[in-house]
């Protein structure tokens, strides 16, 4: 069997790494294609290094662009690769533009597609990722879900049950494997930020950073929070550009702006944070696994199990509520949460078993 994996953006890498290694252990022939959607060393190379991933066999070098341009470039450059490589299966991950682009090419070439992290829905079609999820799941042949809500969403959309397989959360496989390495790097990270107690922040969604007023209000709220607990903020390239336009370049005592971190270093900070404020998808899940309070600056989430079972609370853009919830966490009043079933570090093993044994 020949499996070709398509990855492209930062949140794909920690999902693909365990699957690559589970299939390698079983002697499966594999080809790794990087679309080049993310290309900065600290958005891509460092993840390959931290996750011990093999170098990509093929890089499509698409780079940045509008959604249409980026998706189209990936499709045009991937098609000849699939015609040449003739894989039995193509694995796509998550919900980024690289995911949907690859799935569409496969569907037209009648190449079987497996979607890892299938079935997640925010119900919010203004999010590009929601469109990517809906379309990818409609054309995928094997839908590998992380949680029961994923199965229910797919059944509601008419996906035949035999295509759906609940395997658990493959991103947590990487976390479980690399948490000891993160602990080893904690001292270095602690001296780098010079703090023992801190809130960790990530923000990159267009809805939070593209409008200067929204971003300005958010930064003001974070600086206020910095009065009670210093805020460490690794800044995504999109956000960095927007902050520059706002005139905010430098860290302040209350707001420590740093470059994006590699997987293990970010995990070390996450595991030791007092609380996390984010608009990321994956971080809602990682904090639930780690039992760290998470305040999500979004109106909805495609990962509702992190709210119903985990440590996550949706704040939307209510910065008054954000300040109140931070105070509650600082006072020790926060739900403990539980780890959802099958978030156990063995999801990739279940994926490999399903692929090879049916
Ligand atoms: C993409 C995903 C998003 C995911 C995020 C994680 C889509 C639709 N969005 O958003 O779901 O949460 O990745 O980071 O696929 N840039 C660089 N260097 C890079 C990559 C990007 O400077 O290596 C800058 C460019 O200015 C680019 C902008 O960041 O235009 C946005 O990059 P893009 O890949 O389009 O989307 P993300 O916001 O990263």
pLDDT tens digit sequence for 79-97 = 999 999 999 999 999 999 9
**Does any ligand 1 atom lie closer than 6 A to the CB of residue 38?**
yes
**Does any ligand 1 atom lie closer than 6 A to the CB of residue 9?**
yes
How far, in Å, from the CA of 327 to the mean position of ligand 1? 32
Query: Is 213 designated active site?
Result: no
């080809």: which residue's tokens?
31
**Does any ligand 1 atom lie closer than 6 A to the CB of residue 64?**
yes
Phi, psi (degrees; rounded to nearest 5) at 3: -110, 130
Domain extents for the chain?
2-169+343-357, 180-330
Q: How many Å apart are CA 333 and CA 66, to the nearest integer?
A: 43
Closest residue CA from atom 19 of ligand 1: 38
Ligand 1 closest atom vs CA 43: 23
**Does any ligand 1 atom lie closer than 6 A to the CB of residue 40?**
yes
What pLDDT, on the 0 to 100 scale, is given for residue 247? Answer: 86
**Does any ligand 1 atom lie closer than 6 A to the CB of residue 119?**
no
Give the residue, out of 6, 10, 13, 38, with the most ligand 1 atoms within 8 A of its beta carbon, to mutate for a pocket test.
38
**Does any ligand 1 atom lie closer than 6 A to the CB of residue 71?**
no
Closest residue CA from atom 11 of ligand 1: 96
**Does any ligand 1 atom lie closer than 6 A to the CB of residue 11?**
yes
Could you check whether 2-169+343-357 and 180-330 share the same CATH topology? yes
Q: Specify the pTM.
A: 0.97
pLDDT in tens, 221-257: 999 999 999 999 999 999 999 999 988 877 777 899 9
In CATH, the number for domain 180-330 is 3.40.50.2000
Q: How many Å apart are CA 213 and CA 207, to the nearest integer?
A: 11
What pLDDT, on the 0 to 100 scale, is given for residue 4? Answer: 99
Contact 173, 347 (CB under 8 A): yes
Q: How many Å apart are CA 276 and CA 237, to the nearest integer?
A: 19
Which parts of the chain register pLDDT below 50? none
Q: Which residue in the list 204, 213, 236, 272 is annotated as catalytic? A: 204
Q: How many Å apart are CA 17 and CA 28, to the nearest integer?
A: 14
Token pair of 233 as six digits? 């903020």
Q: Which CATH number fits domain 2-169+343-357: 3.40.50.2000, 3.30.1300.10, 3.60.20.10, 3.40.449.10?
A: 3.40.50.2000
Contact 75, 105 (CB under 8 A): yes
Ligand 1 closest atom vs CA 241: 26
């Amino acid at each position: 069997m020949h499996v070709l994996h398509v990855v492209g953006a930062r949140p794909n890498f920690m999902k693909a790494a365990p699957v690559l290694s589970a299939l390698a252990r079983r002697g499966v022939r594999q080809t790794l294609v990087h679309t080049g959607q993310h290309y900065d060393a600290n958005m891509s190379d460092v993840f390959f290094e931290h996750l011990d991933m093999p170098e990509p066999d093929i890089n499509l070098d698409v780079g940045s662009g509008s959604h249409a341009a980026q998706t189209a470039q990936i499709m045009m450059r991937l098609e000849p690769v699939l015609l040449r490589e003739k894989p039995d299966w193509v694995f796509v991950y998550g919900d980024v533009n690289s995911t949907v682009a690859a799935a569409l090419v496969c569907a037209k070439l009648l190449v079987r597609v497996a979607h890892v992290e299938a079935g997640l829905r925010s119900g919010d079609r203004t999010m590009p990722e929601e469109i990517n999820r809906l379309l990818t799941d409609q054309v995928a042949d094997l839908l590998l879900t992380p949680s029961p809500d994923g199965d229910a969403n797919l059944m509601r959309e008419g996906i035949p049950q035999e295509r759906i397989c609940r395997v658990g959360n493959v991103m947590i496989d990487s976390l479980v494997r690399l948490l000891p390495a993160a602990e080893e790097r904690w001292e270095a990270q602690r001296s780098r930020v010079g703090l023992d107690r801190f809130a960790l922040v990530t923000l990159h969604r267009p809805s939070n950073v593209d409008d200067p007023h929204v971003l300005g209000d958010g930064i003001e709220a974070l600086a206020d929070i910095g009065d009670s607990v210093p805020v460490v903020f690794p800044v995504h390239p999109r956000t960095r550009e927007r902050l520059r336009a706002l005139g905010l370049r430098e860290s302040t005592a209350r707001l420590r702006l740093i470059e994006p971190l590699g997987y293990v270093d970010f995990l070390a900070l996450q595991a030791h944070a007092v609380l996390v404020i984010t608009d990321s998808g994956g971080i809602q899940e990682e904090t639930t696994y780690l039992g760290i309070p998470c305040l999500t600056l979004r109106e909805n989430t495609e990962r509702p199990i992190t709210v119903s079972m985990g440590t996550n609370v949706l704040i939307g853009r209510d910065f008054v509520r954000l300040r109140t919830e931070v105070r509650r966490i600082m006072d020790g009043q926060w739900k403990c949460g539980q780890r959802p079933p099958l978030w156990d570090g063995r999801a990739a093993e279940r994926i490999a078993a399903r692929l090879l044994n049916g």
